[in-house]
Each structure stands twice: as structure tokens, then as C-alpha cells.
Structure 1
Amino acid sequence: MATIAPAHRTATREEWLKERLELLTAEKELTRQSDEVARRRQALPWVKVDKDYQFDIDEGSASLVDLFQGRSQLLVYHFMFGPDYSAGCPSCSAIADGFNGIAAHLANHDVMLWAVSRAPIEKLQAFKQRMGWSFPWASSDDNGFNSDFHVYATEDQQRTGVYEYNFRPGSPLAPSVGEWPARSAAQTNTDFPTYVREKPGMSAFVLDEGVVYHTYSAFARGLDGLWGAYQWLDRAPKGRNENSYWWRHHDAYAAA
């Protein structure tokens, strides 16, 4: 029987090792560059948060200071889950699958990690139970937190494009949508315009002498490093291999 050649080029171990060592040099340089970018993140000036935000949490009502729970640092993942959603955004859910296990480690290293969404706390609690997650999740409802940190656009802002996302002006909603956003919206049982009023992102805060300061935010591709599955796929033979929409809530793969 004839041997079928692989689609990708092949080499001897010695040839492979030569190229791998060249790649290692590039990886080391990328690591050093990443360290420098992290240093610059931490060197950003702090901006005082003057607004008194109130959130709904499992135990009742909580202020932004309360979310620190005795720590000096707070990381917030802006989870796309609007009031009209029946389930969380599948992309945000995939990211949450990755950070669910590390929240306890961060909490024991002076850093609280919370997810924050606009959906009512009862919806968040039910979805959290469905997904088997343990990280803390707060409802911002309509307290202005999501708008102020640029992860929500009203229907009017969406229509006119008068909002900010990823530190740039927004744009009016496109008349047609592609496969990926349409299928993401479908998994939350919303239409596309309702779905994309919520935006993904993360924000960092510090509590110093009783005062809360905003220190950093990231959006869009700036969240890639927080998406654990992508870090593994980038090391897989075929990479991200995203020729079509593929991810779902982790309990929905069997049904698909």
C-alpha cells in the first residue's frame, strides 16, 4: 500500500532541532518584550474612581470597595450577559472556564477577581450553577459601571455610533452580520443588535488608603492573553484553525 505523504513539510530530528532553536530565540525575545509591556501596564498612572457604584451580589448589595474583600487589588472581567440574554456570551464563557480555577489562587495573592455583568443577579446565579463555576459574579444592573468603563452601548448609541470601545470611537451597527456574531447571539437567545450592545473587556483597580483607583483596561484582541484555550491552540499543530464558528458553552458540545 502506498504511503500518503503528510500535508505539512517533514524533516529529520536534526533539521527540526535547528529550526526549533531559532524559534526559541524568537520566543525568548517575545517573553522579554511581554515583561516590558507588563512593566509599562503597572507604571500607568492611577485614576480616582469618584462614583459610588452599587452592585448586586449573592450576599445582597455591595459597593466597588466591597468587591475587594480585604485585598488591595481588584480585577474585573466584563462578562457579556445583558438583561435580555438567557445565557452568557459563549466566548466570555470560554474565557471564564479558564479563569474559574485561578480565582482562589489570586484571592490568596492580594487580588480579587470578579465577573461583572448587567443581567439580574438571579440570571447570573442560575447560569453560574449551570456552568459549575465558583468565581464571584456581580450584577451591575443599570448602575452606570458598564457604560463608564466602555463595555456597553445603548440602543441609540449603537444606532449612531456615538460611543467608545477599545479607546476608539464606535461605529453604527452594520446592516448585516457574519456567521460568528449571529451564532453567538443565537446561543444567548437574543437578536444580534441586543447581543452586541454588551462588550467584552477587563479592568483593574487598586484600593489605596481607602480610595479606589482605576489602573488599566483592555478590550477586543487585548483579551487574547486571558483566553486560556487560545494559548494552548497557538501551540497545537494546526493553531487556532478557525475556518468556521466552533465554540459553544462547554455543556453544549455533546448536543452538537
Structure 2
Amino acid sequence: MTTHKTGTREEWLTARLDLLKAEKALTRRSDELVAQRQALPWVRIDKSYRFETDEGRASLAELFKGRSQLLVYHFMFGPDYKAGCPSCSSIADGFDGLAIHLANHDVTLMAISRAPLPKLQDYKRRMGWTFPWASSNGSDFNFDFNISFTEAQQREGSIEYNYERGGHAMDAAEVPEPVAQFADTCGTDPATYSRDRPGLSTFVLEDGVVYHAYSTYARGVDGIWGMYQWLDRAPKGRNETGVWWKRHDEYERR
């Protein structure tokens, strides 16, 4: 016997119409936030960044692949990881289906990580992905966009992430269980694992000049995590008490 509230079709419809009003209000508010996001001032990027790609070395402007807009997913895959972050991997599972549509709307979708390109290529083959993925190894790119941090920053507590300053090297007793679990699956320790973080940054190219338009971090990437968008509409919602997801090739076949 279910413990969830039950009712008649008429009761359900009354409640559903109330919810529809709230959903429409949220949609309108979301549209307002989109407009506010697009109204942010663009910041010109004069620093020269170099990346390793499947096609060879490339500048930030060349990552646009002839388009005027670039969406970068900051994929957690540090130089010392043996595998990509499981959460980032879950998010990236949805990229291939979207990339072709974005590419035909003047937008390039790309992942960027600090791991050397051969590591990214091996992992990409393992996951069966085809979206473009560049290595920023040896570049300041991740550090300049507050998505990667040094061991010294951890010790000093000078990490600035999600527009807040804080964070330090964690004692074993302080490490949250999900961090320890994810670090283990990436073949590294929690401190090393935590020196890279997830995020999304967007850029625009006009008259040969690259501008930074937007960045979001932490829960700010929830909106592109397709798994959760579906779960939020499932009868039991996210229904989780801890980390339950894995890389897609690590589940038992059902």
C-alpha cells in the first residue's frame, strides 16, 4: 500500500492546475534570468592560451571551429587522474546528441580538461563519445577561470570557486564521503581530486576578438545535467540519500 497521498482524477486536476500556475511563473522568471545572463558585459580576452586537440595545437579562437559562440564544459579530469569524474561523465553523456544541433546554430560545444590529450582520448574511446575535447595541460586557462587550483592554494585556503573564497587541504576525517568515493574511482586522493572542479563557461568571437561572456559553477551546472532534469519530473524525484550514479559502463546490465 502506497504511503503517498492519493485522490480522485478531479482532485488531481485541481492540484495540477495550481502547479501549472507555479510552473508558468517559474518559466517566466527563467526567461528573465536568461535575458539578465545575456546582458552581462563581455570581457575581452587578450591572454594567449594554447590547447591540445585531436587536430593539433589550437588557440582559444580556433576552438570556435569557425563559429561565433563557444560553450565550454570544464570537465574534472586532472593530470593525475586515471579516469574522468563520474559526475562530469554523467553530464557529458548528453553532449553528443546536442553538439550537432548547436553546431548548426553557430555554437560549438566543447569540453576542456587539464589532463594530457592522450588520457582524454583514451577515456573518450572508453565512453564512446565523439564531442570535441581539448587539453589545457600546461596552460593557465583552468586557473584563470577559477576551475583548477594549486596545492599551495589548498594549503593557504585561498581557493576562489563559485565566486566565493575558501577551501583548504582536508584532513582525512574532514573529507566528505562522496569526495572520497569519487577520488577513489578516479584513481587519486581527495586533495588531488579536489584541485579540479566542474563548471561551464561561454565565449563569443567577434571581429577576431574573443570575449568571455559567462561562467557558472557547482549547482550552476545542474541545468545541463540531463539525468536530473528527467528525475525532477519522475514520480519519486531524485530519491537519493547519497551518491548512486556511476560511469555508464560500470552499471550492471538490466
TM-score (norm 2): 0.97
Q: Distance in 2 between matches of 1:163 and 1:185?
A: 19
CA shift for structure 1 position 238: 1.2
Within-5 A mapping of 1:12-27:
12-27=8-23
User: Does residue 1:116 correspond to 2:112, yes or no?
Assistant: yes
Unaligned 5+ segments in structure 2 are: none
CA shift for structure 1 position 174: 3.1
Q: Distance in 1 between matches of 2:28 and 2:157?
A: 38
Q: Which residue of 23, 28, 33 corresponds with 2:29? A: 33
- Tell me the equivalent position of 1:204: 202
- Tell me the equivalent position of 1:191: 189
Give 1:185's aligned amino acid.
Answer: A
Q: Which residue of 220, 225, 245 corresponds with 2:218? A: 220
Q: Distance in 1 between matches of 2:153 and 2:219?
A: 22
Give 2:206's aligned amino acid.
Answer: D
Q: How many residues align?
A: 252
User: Does residue 1:94 correspond to 2:83, yes or no?
Assistant: no
CA shift for structure 1 position 244: 2.0
Residues 7-62 of structure 1, C-alpha deviations (whole Å, 9 max, x = no match): 11111111011001100000000000001000011100000001110000011100
Q: Distance in 2 between matches of 1:18 and 1:208?
A: 51
CA shift for structure 1 position 242: 1.4
CA shift for structure 1 position 171: 1.9
Within-5 A mapping of 1:147-166:
147-166=143-162
- Tell me the equivalent position of 2:79: 83
SS at match of 1:157: helix
Give 1:20's aligned amino acid.
Answer: R
Identity across matched positions, percent: 63
Give 1:146's aligned amino acid.
Answer: N
CA shift for structure 1 position 98: 1.6
CA RMSD of aligned residues (A): 1.2
Asked if structure 1 preserves the Cα contact closer than 8 Å seen for 2:170 and 2:191, the reply is: no
